């Protein structure tokens, strides 16, 4: 559902002005940033009200930051909330079959087109999932709603493909900037995850949207990660080496969590449990874990206050780490909507603290700062799961204001990302694409390749001839120089092969009796829905310069002809146009 949903259309003169001036895009980006900031504040307030009403906690308290929750509510609310979510999802499938796409998929495959109505639905599902205690992050809902509205706004102005993708990035940048009080991290989240790369033309809109989103969110709902680390001295080689080891462990943990979500989902599918009961079962398991520690409930934002983490006994911290990881796996694997961003920050902080405490116990002379390594672990694990190394480095910098600490964070993040790429190859978002059969690894725009299909490139005025036509008759029908090649068909009108006119005229009478004797590319054809890359691969397999296009593999009815030279030329033209648009040259 890439482009369904309603959106307004701006007047023609205004559309022309926006398309003609880059500064107009910056103004739109500021509007998107302000709207996104309001969305973040409103969604956060909605979840807080759900927590107050459903879990009977004081207004202003964070569910995952409490030491105790009523046991009956801890079990009943996630379980019954999961049932309600499951029934709603079942009803929704009848109303809107298929699935909604997120900003990354929209920018990779659909030119930045998202469903406005679908984005609202996903945001509401995320609010409910977190509001009933599901161990999921709100960032998925934030970015979905903000990017969906930005996409609709871009379509209202009939923006070019590249500009439309930037608008989607603006929405995501503003949402993350507001959610984490980190405008730099929000901007680089858009560059790394939603746009799939940095380009000078996108810097100003993304930056303005991120700063505006941060300012508006902070105005209505001041949010903070709660990270406060004292100033540390120069980072030594010892610290960089230890940070690299922590990055390696963070990568292995991140891979285990991502695979765990897919494994739990597979187990539920194989169990043949009625679909609406799956979130209920997941909510029940999360509720049972909450009896041990309420930190497993909701996103975990309230638990992510390092001052309280540092004071937590090591045994309890280890229990929270294991249970929070399991709760996140169970929640997402059973059907709760949300993300792993918040959870990965909390788990990384706990893991970094445990790592430093354990190493200090084994090697007392090392004397590691537990708070420092909590920040390093937070960034390293998040980089592995989310797949945005610079975003996580900037979150650490903006949260602590400590440049020396960020140096060690960068080392851990680099190691974590590289190990994850080598051993796993995906982030959490792209892993879900892989499970659905998609081949995309990032938000880099490959949709234009899929849009450049054989149907768009082929010549439809194809000339055919019966395969049993004699060579002499063929020469009369197609004199030398009239055509380069002709497509041969059998008695049923099915494709039989390609005849080269020059070859037919160059034969001696004794060399071939009919066209069938000189056919080329008898078994290789193109289908109209193939993209340009698939077409070029088919030319390589057939070792042919021209291939026929058939309606379908079953019918074999010829509908066109495509040459390798034309396909390569169109690919080069579209590739250059795409590059120029990314650089702001068009």
Greater model confidence, 198 or 358:
358
Confidence band (pLDDT; 50, 70, 90) for 446?
A: low
Check whether 333 has a pLDDT greater than 80. Answer: yes
Q: How far apart are CA 343 and CA 381, in angstroms?
A: 10
Read off the tokens for 229.
Answer: 């680390």
Nearest to 264 by CA among 323, 343, 321, 335: 335
The average pLDDT across 61-90 equals 91
Please write the tens of the pLDDT for every residue from 262-313. Answer: 999 999 999 989 999 999 999 999 999 999 998 899 887 655 565 566 677 8
What the block records as the tokens of 529 is 């829905």
Given a cut of 90, whether residue 111 has pLDDT beyond it is no
From residue 142, give the alpha-carbon distance in Å to each of 33, 177, 228, 271, 356: 12, 10, 25, 32, 33
> pLDDT for 467-501, tens place per residue?
888 888 888 888 888 888 899 999 888 999 999 88
Of 3.40.50.620, 2.40.50.100, 2.60.120.10, 1.10.3080.10, which CATH number belongs to 237-435? 1.10.3080.10
Paired residues of 303 in beta bridges: none
Q: For residues 281 and 119, give the distance between their C-alpha atoms in angstroms, rounded to a whole number.
A: 26
Which CATH code for domain 450-580? Answer: 3.10.580.10
Cα–Cα separations (whole angstroms), residue 365 to 238, 245, 408, 428 = 12, 18, 20, 38
Q: What is the pLDDT of residue 5?
A: 45
Query: What residues does 557 pair with on adjacent strands?
Result: 494
Specify the higher pLDDT residue, 399 or 309. 399
Specify the range with the lowest mean pLDDT, choosing from 121-135, 260-274, 384-398, 440-454: 440-454
DSSP for 522-552, please give it. SS--B-TT-BHHHHHHHHHHHT-SEEEEES-
CATH 1.10.3080.10 holds for 12-223: yes
User: Tokens 């602590």 map to which residue?
Assistant: 400
The predicted structure's pLDDT at residue 3: 42
For the chain, the C-alpha Rg in angstroms (whole number) is: 29
Q: What are phi and psi of 480, to 5 degrees?
A: -60, 125
State residue 431's pLDDT score. Answer: 78
Q: What is the pLDDT of residue 60?
A: 79
First to last CA, the chain: 29
Tokens of 298: 């909701």
Residue 198 and residue 178 in contact, taking contact as beta carbons nearer than 8 Å: no
Q: Quote the tokens at residue 276.
A: 């609406």
> Mean pLDDT lowest for which of 27-31, 194-198, 202-206?
194-198
Average pLDDT over residues 524-537: 89
What ranges in 363-402 are assigned the alpha helix state H?
Answer: 370-386, 389-400
- Report d(CA 28, CA 205) in Å as an integer: 8
CA distances from 291 to 13, 72, 75, 564 (A): 61, 9, 8, 65
Rounded Cα distance between 115 and 453, Å, is: 24
Q: Name the average pLDDT for the chain.
A: 87
Q: What is the DSSP string of 30-99?
A: HHHHHHHHHHHHHHHHHHHHHHHHHH---TT--GGG-S---HHHHHHHHHHHHHHHHHHHHHHHHHS-S-
Angle value at C-alpha 261, between 276 and 87, nearest 5 degrees: 10
Average pLDDT over residues 546-573: 88
Q: Give the span between the Cα atoms of 340 and 332, in whole angstroms.
A: 9
Q: What is the average pLDDT across 394-413?
A: 89
Q: Do domains 12-223 and 237-435 have the same CATH topology?
A: yes
pLDDT band at 4 (very low <50, low <70, confident <90, very high): very low
pLDDT at 510 > cutoff 70 = no
CA quadruple 178, 176, 392, 257: dihedral, nearest 10: 130
| pLDDT single digits (tens) 155-176 | 999 998 889 999 999 999 999 9
pTM for this predicted structure: 0.81
Contacts with 265 (C-beta within 8 Å, 6 or more apart), sequence order: 332, 333, 334
Q: Report whether pLDDT(430) > 90.
A: no
Of 147-151, 374-378, 403-407, 449-453, the range with the lowest mean pLDDT is: 449-453
Q: How many CB atoms lie within 10 A of CB 515?
A: 22
Q: Could you write out the three-class secondary structure of 416-470?
A: HHHHHHHHCCCCHHHHHHHHCCCCCCCCCCCHHHHHCEHHHHCECCCCEEECCCE
Domain assignments of the chain as residue spans, ordered by start? 12-223, 237-435, 450-580
Average pLDDT over residues 545-569: 89
pLDDT category of residue 444 using cuts at 50, 70 and 90: low
pLDDT at 248: 97
């Amino acid at each position: 559902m890439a482009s369904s949903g309603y959106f307004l259309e701006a007047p023609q003169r205004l559309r022309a002005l926006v398309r003609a001036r880059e500064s107009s895009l910056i103004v739109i980006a500021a509007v998107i940033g302000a709207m996104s900031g309001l969305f973040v504040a409103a969604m956060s307030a909605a979840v807080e009200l759900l927590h107050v009403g459903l879990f009977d906690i004081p207004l202003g308290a964070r569910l995952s930051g409490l030491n105790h929750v009523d046991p009956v509510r801890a079990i009943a609310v996630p379980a019954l909330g999961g049932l309600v979510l499951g029934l709603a999802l079942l009803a929704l499938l009848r109303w809107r079959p298929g699935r909604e796409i997120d900003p990354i998929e929209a920018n990779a495959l659909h030119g930045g087109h998202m469903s406005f109505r679908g984005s609202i639905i996903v945001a509401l599902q995320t609010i409910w999932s977190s509001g009933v205690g599901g161990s999921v992050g709100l960032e998925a809902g934030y970015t979905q709603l903000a990017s969906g509205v930005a996409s609709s706004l871009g379509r209202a102005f009939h923006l070019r493909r590249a500009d439309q993708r930037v608008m989607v990035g603006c929405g995501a940048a503003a949402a993350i900037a507001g959610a984490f009080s980190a405008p730099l991290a929000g901007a680089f989240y858009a560059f790394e995850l939603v746009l799939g790369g940095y380009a000078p033309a996108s810097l100003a809109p993304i930056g303005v949207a991120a700063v505006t989103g941060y300012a508006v969110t902070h105005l209505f709902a001041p949010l903070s990660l709660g990270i406060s680390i004292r100033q540390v001295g120069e980072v030594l080689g010892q610290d960089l080496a230890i940070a690299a080891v922590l990055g390696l462990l963070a990568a292995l943990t991140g891979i285990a969590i991502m695979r765990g979500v897919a494994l739990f989902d597979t187990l539920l599918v194989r169990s043949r449990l009625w679909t609406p009961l799956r979130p209920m079962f997941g909510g029940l398991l999360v509720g049972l874990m909450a009896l041990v520690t309420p930190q497993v409930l909701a996103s975990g934002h309230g638990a992510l206050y390092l001052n309280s983490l540092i004071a937590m006994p090591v045994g309890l911290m280890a229990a929270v780490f294991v249970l929070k990881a399991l709760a996140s796996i169970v929640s997402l694997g059973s059907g709760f909507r949300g993300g792993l961003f918040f959870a990965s920050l909390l788990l990384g902080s706990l893991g970094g603290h445990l790592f430093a405490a354990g190493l200090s116990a084994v090697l007392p002379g090392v004397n590691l700062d537990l708070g420092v390594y909590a920040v390093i672990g937070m960034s390293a694990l998040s980089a592995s799961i989310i797949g945005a190394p610079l975003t996580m480095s900037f979150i650490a910098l903006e949260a602590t204001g400590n440049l020396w600490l960020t140096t060690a964070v960068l080392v851990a993040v680099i190691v974590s990302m590289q190990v994850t790429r080598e051993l796993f190859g995906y982030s959490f978002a792209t892993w879900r694409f892989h499970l659905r059969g998609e081949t995309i690894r990032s938000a880099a725009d490959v949709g234009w390749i899929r849009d450049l299909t054989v149907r768009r490139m082929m010549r439809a005025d194809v000339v055919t001839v019966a395969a049993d036509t004699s060579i002499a008759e063929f020469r009369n029908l197609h004199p030398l120089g009239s055509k380069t090649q002709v497509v041969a068909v059998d008695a049923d009108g099915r494709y039989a092969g390609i005849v080269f006119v020059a070859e037919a005229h160059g034969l001696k009478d004794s060399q071939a009796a009919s066209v069938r004797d000189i056919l080329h590319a008898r078994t290789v054809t193109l289908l109209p829905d193939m993209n340009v890359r698939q077409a070029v691969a088919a030319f390589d397999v057939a070792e042919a310069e021209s291939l026929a296009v058939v309606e379908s593999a079953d019918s074999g009815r010829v509908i066109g002809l495509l040459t390798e030279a034309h396909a390569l030329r169109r690919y080069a033209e579209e590739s250059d146009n795409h590059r120029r648009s990314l650089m702001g040259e068009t």
